[in-house]
Structure 1
Amino acid sequence: MTVTLRTPFLRLAAPAGLMLLLGACQPQQQPFVLYDEVAAVAPAPIAEPAADVERVDVTVAPWNPAAFGENATGWLPYVGLTAQDYAPQLAQWLAAANAFSVQGSETLRLHGELTKWEDLSPSAFGPSVFQITYEYALIDADGETLMEKTIVSKGEDTSFAGLTRMQLAMQHAHADSARQLVAALDSDFRQAWAAREKAIAVAEAERARIAASMEPLTGFYRGQADGAAIRDFPTTEGDRLGSIGLGAVYRASGRLPDGWIRIAPEDGAAGVEGWVHEAALTRMSEAEIAERLAAEEARRAAAADRYQLSPGDEPATLLADTAALTAPRSGAPTARTLVAGTAVEVVALTENGFALLTENARYVGWVDQAALQR
């Protein structure tokens, strides 16, 4: 019986007994030591940091044996480098390359995952040549992916000693991967970060403009332009959150001088809140508005009769994104989703742990009391 050896040292047909002997002679796990030859070709510093952040947490996923194919066993565990070794080494290389400054206030996470490892060595006794593929992702504190990059790198060494040759080839492959990553940070990520910073500045300016110029508005509107965009900011450049329906009723809470109106679905019905230009809406008559406001007050009064009234519409804050339900029971239909941090008023409480909420005196729905900071 013969067995084909597939290790970076030997590729030959050998008796099964020789396989057992070789297995017994495998070296022990080697501690990670960065070779001087690899340190000498580490990523070079870039002219300016790609981003101002507080810190970057570097993580590398544990190697998936599937990435190595038939080489997942044998000598691979003994090459003197693991995913746990690469993470701090990569962090050191990024710091030395001046990839990020520490003048900002944001924390980013750089995550790497080895998805493929190939042994391209031409023979059992020639140079060791390894090619590796890493998937890198740079993620902000909100979980948004700012950059994704697939990097294929190669490492080669011709040292005489087999184990040293393997270790050097593996380290060279990772150093090459880090060099390409720094280059991507200096180009692709730098542009993405600059665009993100500009978008944040524009959003802050818009919020300031809204706060300074929005006039409070109470009333109801019907959609008259089917499919008109509901946007996150009162500008045609704002992101599209949804669209209004022809004849659908919306409650307005504010208006800007240029005609943009802040709307929400009537009575917290399913739908999105945002900004729509008044050209896409028709204001309902004062009689219809008065009728709807009276209906809202009647619902509040009915709730107060049925449940324990919370004195003075007690203020509260949502601890997390929470579904507001149409009734005080688990499984009731969702009226709308409330975002974490939303300020609300608690109108009534139930014995089974639900709270009836309003927002700026507008009916919202029922939420679990555990979701509230009171």
Structure 2
Amino acid sequence: MTAKKQWRHAFGLREAGVYYALLILLALLAVIAHGRGLPNYLSPQNLGNIAYQSSLVGIMGVAMTVMLITGAFDLSVASVAALAAAVLVGLAPTLGFPLAAGAAIVTALAVGLFNGVVVQFVGINAFIVTLGTLTAVRGLILVLTDGRSLMVERSDVLQQMLAFESMRVPLFWPLLTIGSALILLGALRRLVGTIGGGVLLIAAALYLGSGFAVAAPVIYLALFTLIVWAVLRFTVVGRRVCAVGGNPEAARLSGINVNAYKLGAFLLSSGAAGFAGVLFACRLGAINPTALQGAELTVIAAAILGGTSLFGGAGSVLKTVVGALLLFTLTNGFNVLDLGASYQGLIEGMVVIAAAAIYTVGGERRRVSRHAAPAQAEEPA
């Protein structure tokens, strides 16, 4: 592929559409805020707030992307996160924060193991299994909480939880460092998109300033995303994950343990949900039986906005995070600008449908052009 084609591919609508959508939305909201005489919508404080609001969905969305790449599906992530939060709040006063957090994540992993075993070894469809798990886990949360809100009353434990979730981390030098590393990596491997990402990070660092800091969940999201992205992009494990989702039978015949990889995806999804639930409980210091209800749809919407295929074999964790930022930028804009919260769900749903339509139409055109090219080449002169 020539350099010109690489740039066209990397910055085309299909590859970079979600980035363009986020930038256009931010610019539009900034213009509306300026026209109404409101404070700068693109202030570092508000941008950090958007990242903080989207962090939990982003963590679950990254794991959901891996799940979708393998060709599976998990509707229970939000319920598993709520269960982990309930376990943490219930056990923290007696066990302390570290042990209670460990128990919460182990509980979440147990649910993921159950889902994976039933789907892979019993042969029931993942949609049906995780839908049933969603309902069952919600019932278990009602049992554990006795249908009422629980809160951590020990002040020392509560302080530990708040410190784990709410501490501020300076981001100026890390953004510069990561951006420079991405540019160097992209130059060495001739990855135009990676170079573009590095440039954006450096530009963001310069715009936000040396005093910019974010809450810890944003850092957890960034580290988790970076690790998963590197594994999918540069390792044999990542290539096998894509192969399992693209063509399971071909992957099995080539010696890949398909069941192990799909089971691992379920464990990753539930483990990430458990960690998100721990952060949620630390954020509030309390839990109620309806916590995070419906958040699984937001997680899936973020993955779809990022262009992850619902049929397996393709997806980008970076774009999923941008999809989560896009959704919460909409939410934040409606709240800050008082644009009418009653229309929020309608507009978010239309955005998801439009994104899915763009990716679907673009994929169909690509397939048609690929099939048409060999046919034209075979025609006699």
Q: Do they fold alike, i.e. is TM over 0.5?
A: no
Q: Say which one has the larger Rg.
A: 1
Structure with bigger strand share is 1
TM-score (norm 1): 0.16
Structure with bigger helix share is 2
Structure with bigger RCO (C-alpha 8 Å, 6+ apart): 2
